[in-house]
C-alpha cells in the first residue's frame, strides 16, 4: 500500500493553498520531496536564522569540491560531481580555487579536486595563487583530510596532467589520505570523469549513509553556480549537425592572414549559447594525411579504415604515450630510445604521428594502428555572434593554421577542415561549451572595454550584437590588433556601422606591420591610459581575448602599469588588477 503524503487540514495555510500544495505534493516523487525539505531548510538558513527546520535531517558529511579551471572543463566536472555527491549523501560545496584559500582546505575533511593543466605544465591563471600556497612550506597539515584528485590535460603537451599530479602528491605529503586513485584524463575526458567521480564519491561518503529519504541540502551560498550550471543540450559527445550557411575568408587578397568567418545555421531551439561562450567543432581529418599514415603503416588499401580514422581519430598529436605504445608494439629499441632523456622532446618538436610512422615504417594491423590513436577531439572557437541578433545561427571566426615543418606542409585539423574541405551548404557537427567566466555584465549600463587581437575579436562581435539588440546603454570600447589595416581589419564594415549607431563608443586599432616599428594593442592601451583609468573608475569591465603568449601577457603587464598610477607602482597595479579579477571585472579568454 502506498501512502500519499497530504497536508493535514490544520496545516498553517489557507484552504486554497492547502489544496494547491496537495496537488503538487500528491504527484511528487520521494526525491522531489527530499529536495523541497532541503530547500526550505536552506532557505531559512540563508535568510539568517529564523526557526530551525522542523524536519530532523540527518547530518550529512560535508564535502569540499575544488576546481582549477581554465577553459571551464574542470568547473563543469565539479558541478556534475556536486550532483552525484547528493546521491552519496554528501553535503558538497563547490569552490573555484580562485576563491579558495588554505584555511578552507585545512578545515575540509573530505576534498575532491578537479585540476586542469595549462600550457607547458602550468596551473590555470585563476588558480595560480592557491596552487602556490599549497606548494609552499606554509601549507597546513592535512592529517584528517581524505581526498581524491582528477587531473585533466592534453597528451599533445609534454607535461601531461602535471598540475593534477602535483596536487595529488602534495595532498598526500601534507598528511592527507587518498581514498581513490588519481585519474589523468585527455581531451576525451567526459565519460571517464563521471565514472571516476561516482567511484571516488562513493569512497568519500560515510559508510552508513543511504541515498534515499535524506534531506537534500540546497546550497544558497554557493553563488554563481546555482542557476548557471545547466548542461548544454549539445556536447562534444552529442553534437548537433548544423549547416554551414556562409564561409568567407575575411582577409583581403594579398594578406598574410587567412581568417574565416563561418556561419552555422540550425533550427533546433535547444542549441543555445551566450556571447562569450565557445562553440566546439568536431572536425574530420585531411584524407591525404590519413592516407600518408596508412601508407607508412602498410595499410594503404583499406578504404573503410581510412574513413573511420578520418572521422574519428586524432592523427596529428605525437604524444609520449603513442611513442611508448608504438615501441612496445614494434619491439624496436630505437623507438624506445626516443623516450630516454630529452630525446622525445627533440624528436616530437613540430613533428606529428605520421613522421614517427614514416621514420620507422613498421607495418601495423588496423587494430594495432587504432590502438595507437586517441579519439579525435573537438576544437573550440569563441562564438562571434549573438543569438538575439542571429536567431538559429552561430558564427565563428577561424584562423586557418598552416605551416611547414621537417619538410612537410602541415595544416590545422579543424581550421582547414572548415577552410578547405567545407563550403557553404556543407554540414559540420558543433556543440556549445559555456564559458561562465567570460560574460557580458548583467547590467547593460556597465561600460565594457574589449581587448583582442586577430581572432580574439570574435567574442566582441557577439557582445556588441547582443548589447545592440538589448538596447543596452553602457559605453563600449574596442581595442583591436592585427597585422595590416587594409587587409586584416576583421569585421571592419560592421565596426563602422556600430560606431555610427553608437553601439560601439570607442575603437582603437593597432596594426603591427603597417609601419617600420611594431604597434600592438598594449601600445594603444598605454596611449589611452588616462581615459582607460576613468572608464575603470566608472565601473568598466575589461575583457581580453586572444593569444596568451603573443598578446594577453603583454596586455596584462600594460594594465598593471596603467593601474599602477602616475608613479607606475607595479605592486599597486597588480593588486588593483587582482581586485578587478576577483570582482569579475577583468575577464580573460586566452589560448
Partner 1 sequence: MTDKRARNEIIKENSHQLRGTLAEGLQDVVTGNIAEDDHQLIKFHGSYIQDDRDVRGERAKKKLEKAYSFMLRLRIPGGLTTPKQWLALDRIASEYANGTLRLTTRETFQYHGVIKSNLKRTMQAINGAALDTIAACGDVNRNVMTAANPYLSKAHKQAYDLGKAISEHLLPKTGAYHEIWLDGEKVEEKVRKAGKSEEPLYGTHYLPRKFKTVIAVPPDNDVDIFAHCLGFIAVLEKGEVVGWNVTVGGGMGMTHGDTNTFPRTAEFLGFCKPEQAIDVAEKVLLVQRDWGNRENRARARFKYTVEDRGIDNIRAEVEKRLGYKLGKPKPFKFEGTGDPLGWRQTLDAKKDEDKKWHLTLFVENGRIKDVPGRTMRSALREIAEAGYCDFVCTSNQNVILANVASKFTSKIEAILKAHGVSTEVSSGLRANSMACVSLPTCALGLAESERFLPELLTSLEDSLDKAGLRSDDIVVRMTGCPNGCARPYLAEIGFVGRNPGLYNLYLGAAFDGSRLSKLYAQDVGKERIIELLDPIFLKYAKERKSGEHFGDFVIRAGLVKATTAGNNFHDNIKLA
Using CB under 8 A as the criterion, which residues of the chain lie in contact with partner 1 when the complex forms? 248-254, 261, 485-487, 489-496, 499, 507-509, 511, 514-516
- Residue 247: CB minimum distance to partner 1, A: 11
Is 379 or 395 the residue whose CB approaches partner 1 more closely?
395
Which residue number, 207 or 493, has a Cβ lying nearer to partner 1? 493
63: closest CA among 173, 194, 222, 186? 222
Nearer to partner 1, 249 or 368 (CB): 249
Q: How many CB atoms lie within 10 A of CB 367?
A: 7
- Minimal distance in Å, beta carbon 190 to partner 1? 36
Supply the minimum distance, in Å, between the C-beta of residue 527 and partner 1: 12
Spatial separation of the C-alpha atoms in residues 320 and 157, rounded to whole Å? 9
CB of 249 to partner 1, least distance (A): 7
Cα separation, 158 vs 161, whole angstroms: 9
Q: Under 8 Å CB-to-CB from 447, ≥6 apart: which residues?
A: 474, 475, 476, 477, 535, 538, 539, 540, 541
Question: From the CB of 438, what's the least distance to partner 1, in Å?
Answer: 23
Rounding to the nearest 10 degrees, give the CA dihedral for residues 458, 464, 470, 473. 150
What's 146-212 look like in SS3? EEEEEEECCCCCCCCCHHHHHHHHHHHHCCCEECCCCEEECCCCHHHHHHHHHHHHHHHCCCCCCCC
Closer residue to partner 1 (CB): 131 or 511: 511
Which of 480/535 has CB closer to partner 1? 480
Query: What's the closest the beta carbon of residue 459 comes to partner 1, in angstroms?
Result: 17
Helix residue ranges per DSSP H, 396-512:
413-421, 458-470, 485-488, 492-501
- Based on CB atoms, which residue is closest to partner 1, 163 or 457? 457
* Nearest of 361, 350, 351, 353 to residue 314 by alpha carbon: 353
φ and ψ of 162, to 5 deg: -55, -40
- Report, in Å, the least distance between residue 382 CB and partner 1: 17
Q: What is the phi-psi region of residue 442: left when phi exceeds 0, alpha when psi lies from -120 to 50, beta otherwise? A: alpha
**Identity of the residue, 159 or 487, whose beta carbon is nearer to partner 1 in the bound complex:** 487
Residue 536 C-beta: closest distance to partner 1, Å: 22
Q: Which of 373, 339, 354, 338 is nearest to 297 (CA)?
A: 354
Residue number with CB closer to partner 1 (226 or 248): 248
Tell me 457's DSSP state: G
CB of 468 to partner 1, least distance (A): 16
553-563 helix and 570-582 helix, angle to the nearest 10 degrees: 110
Nearer to partner 1, 261 or 437 (CB): 261
- β 541-546/506-511 pair status: unpaired
Least CB distance from residue 484 to partner 1, whole Å?
Answer: 8
Task: Confirm if 89 and 60 have CB atoms less than 8 A apart.
Answer: yes
Shortest distance, position 489 Cβ to partner 1, whole Å: 6
For residue 279, with 0-12 CB atoms within 10 Å meaning exposed, 13-18 middle and 19 or more buried, which class applies?
buried
Nearest residue (CB) to partner 1, 254 versus 407 = 254
Give the whole-angstrom CA distance, residue 380 versus residue 396. 10
Of the two residues 514 and 569, which places its CB atom closer to partner 1 in the complex? 514
CB 480 within 8 A of CB 453: yes
| E-strand stretches of 513-590 | 541-546, 586-590
Residue whose CB is less far from partner 1, 258 or 548: 258
Q: Closest approach of Cβ 504 to partner 1, in Å?
A: 9
Amino acid at each position: 500500500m502506498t501512502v500519499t503524503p497530504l497536508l493535514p487540514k490544520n496545516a498553517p495555510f489557507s484552504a486554497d493553498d492547502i489544496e494547491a500544495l496537495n496537488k503538487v505534493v500528491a504527484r511528487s516523487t520521494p526525491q522531489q520531496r527530499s529536495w523541497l525539505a532541503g530547500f526550505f531548510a536552506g532557505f531559512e538558513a540563508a535568510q539568517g536564522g529564523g526557526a530551525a527546520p522542523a524536519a530532523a535531517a540527518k547530518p550529512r558529511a560535508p564535502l569540499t569540491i575544488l576546481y582549477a579551471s581554465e577553459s571551464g572543463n574542470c568547473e563543469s566536472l565539479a558541478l556534475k560531481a556536486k550532483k552525484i555527491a547528493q546521491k552519496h549523501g554528501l553535503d558538497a560545496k563547490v569552490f573555484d580555487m580562485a576563491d579558495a584559500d588554505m584555511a578552507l582546505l585545512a578545515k575540509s575533511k573530505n576534498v575532491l579536486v578537479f585540476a586542469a593543466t595549462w600550457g607547458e605544465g602550468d596551473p590555470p591563471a585563476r588558480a595560480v595563487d592557491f596552487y602556490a600556497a599549497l606548494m609552499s612550506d606554509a601549507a597546513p597539515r592535512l592529517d584528517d583530510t581524505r581526498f581524491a584528485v582528477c587531473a585533466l590535460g592534453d597528451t599533445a603537451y609534454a607535461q601531461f596532467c602535471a598540475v593534477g599530479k602535483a596536487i595529488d602528491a602534495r595532498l598526500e605529503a601534507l598528511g592527507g589520505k587518498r581514498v581513490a586513485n588519481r585519474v589523468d584524463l585527455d581531451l576525451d575526458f567526459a565519460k571517464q570523469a563521471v565514472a571516476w567521480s561516482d567511484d571516488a564519491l562513493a569512497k568519500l561518503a560515510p559508510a552508513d549513509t543511504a541515498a534515499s529519504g535524506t534531506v537534500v541540502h540546497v546550497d544558497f551560498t554557493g553563488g554563481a553556480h546555482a542557476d548557471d550550471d545547466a548542461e548544454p543540450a549539445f556536447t562534444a559527445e552529442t553534437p548537433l549537425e548544423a549547416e554551414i550557411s556562409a564561409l568567407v575568408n575575411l582577409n583581403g587578397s594579398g594578406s598574410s592572414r587567412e581568417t574565416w568567418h563561418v556561419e552555422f545555421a540550425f533550427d533546433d531551439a535547444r542549441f543555445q549559447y551566450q556571447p562569450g561562450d565557445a562553440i566546439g567543432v568536431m572536425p574530420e581529418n585531411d584524407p591525404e594525411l590519413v592516407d600518408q599514415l596508412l601508407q607508412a603503416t602498410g595499410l594503404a588499401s583499406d578504404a573503410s579504415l581510412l574513413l573511420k580514422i578520418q572521422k574519428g581519430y586524432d592523427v596529428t598529436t605525437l604524444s609520449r604515450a603513442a611513442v611508448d605504445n608504438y615501441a612496445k608494439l614494434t619491439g624496436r629499441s630505437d623507438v624506445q630510445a626516443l623516450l630516454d632523456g630529452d630525446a622525445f622532446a627533440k624528436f616530437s618538436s613540430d613533428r606529428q604521428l605520421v613522421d614517427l610512422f614514416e621514420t620507422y615504417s613498421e607495418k601495423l594491423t588496423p587494430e594495432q594502428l587504432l590502438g595507437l590513436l586517441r579519439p579525435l577531439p573537438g576544437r573550440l572557437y569563441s562564438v562571434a555572434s549573438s543569438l538575439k541578433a542571429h536567431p538559429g545561427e552561430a558564427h565563428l571566426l577561424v584562423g586557418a593554421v598552416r605551416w611547414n615543418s621537417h619538410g612537410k606542409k602541415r595544416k590545422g585539423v579543424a581550421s582547414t577542415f572548415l577552410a578547405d574541405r567545407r563550403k557553404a551548404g556543407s554540414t559540420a557537427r558543433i556543440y556549445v561549451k559555456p564559458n561562465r567566466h567570460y560574460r557580458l555584465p548583467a547590467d547593460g549600463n556597465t561600460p565594457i572595454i574589449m581587448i583582442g587581437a586577430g581572432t580574439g575579436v570574435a567574442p566582441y562581435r557577439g557582445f556588441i550584437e547582443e548589447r545592440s539588440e538589448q538596447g543596452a546603454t553602457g559605453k563600449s570600447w574596442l581595442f583591436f590588433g592585427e597585422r595590416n589595416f587594409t587587409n586584416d581589419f576583421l569585421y571592419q564594415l560592421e565596426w563602422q556601422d556600430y560606431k555610427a549607431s553608437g553601439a560601439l563608443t570607442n575603437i582603437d586599432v593597432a596594426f603591427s606591420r603597417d609601419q617600420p616599428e611594431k604597434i600592438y594593442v598594449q601600445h594603444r592601451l598605454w596611449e589611452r591610459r588616462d581615459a582607460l583609468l576613468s572608464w575603470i573608475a566608472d565601473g568598466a569591465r575589461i575583457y581580453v581575448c586572444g593569444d596568451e603568449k603573443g598578446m594577453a601577457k603583454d596586455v596584462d603587464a600594460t594594465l598593471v602599469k596603467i593601474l599602477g598610477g602616475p608613479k607606475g607602482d607595479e605592486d599597486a597595479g597588480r593588486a588593483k588588477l587582482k581586485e578587478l579579477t576577483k570582482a569579475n571585472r577583468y575577464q580573460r579568454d586566452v589560448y
